[in-house]
């Protein structure tokens, strides 16, 4: 990993992960999940291969698992990549894209920019039926 990516990860762990913990999420960077009676909420961080930016994706699936290509995935095995519908935080909709940029080295700014999306856009996504 690059030095800047490592620094960004450390800042996300300091800034965003405590918010996720307060919201009941478990897991370790970059994958987090929150189990409820009716559904399981996911959040994951993904970095651009070229460096300098990352996305935060959110998804959800039924508490009893997920059907994919005719096969049942148990709740313990479902990952973000299995979900057909997921949202990148900051995007206008599921077919749109949004990247958080840290090429300027302002890791705190980039990490802090994620928090309102977690509390707002992600919370709305997880609460929708």
Give this prediction's pTM: 0.92
Taking residues 33-58, report their average pLDDT. 95
Q: How much is the pLDDT for 103?
A: 95
Query: Per-residue confidence at 48, pLDDT binned at 50, 70, 90?
Result: very high
84-128 per-position pLDDT tens digit: 789 999 999 888 999 999 999 999 999 999 999 999 999 999 998
Q: How much is the pLDDT for 1?
A: 63
Residue 67 CB neighbours (<10 A): 11
14-39 per-position pLDDT tens digit: 999 999 999 999 999 999 999 999 99
Q: What angle do CA 107, 116, 11 make, to 5 degrees?
A: 25
Torsion of Cα atoms, 78 then 51 then 53 then 32, to 10°? 30
């Amino acid at each position: 990993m690059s030095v800047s990516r490592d620094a960004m990860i450390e800042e996300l762990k300091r800034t965003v992960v405590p918010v996720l913990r307060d919201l009941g999420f478990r897991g370790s960077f970059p994958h987090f999940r929150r189990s409820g009676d009716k559904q399981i909420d996911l959040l994951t961080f993904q970095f651009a291969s070229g460096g300098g930016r990352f996305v935060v994706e959110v998804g959800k699936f039924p508490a009893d698992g997920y059907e994919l290509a005719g096969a049942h995935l148990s709740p313990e095995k479902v990952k973000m990549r299995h979900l057909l519908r997921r949202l990148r935080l900051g995007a206008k909709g599921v077919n749109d894209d949004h990247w958080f940029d840290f090429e300027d080295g302002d890791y705190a700014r980039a990490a802090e920019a994620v928090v309102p999306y977690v509390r707002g856009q992600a919370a709305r996504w997880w609460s929708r039926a």
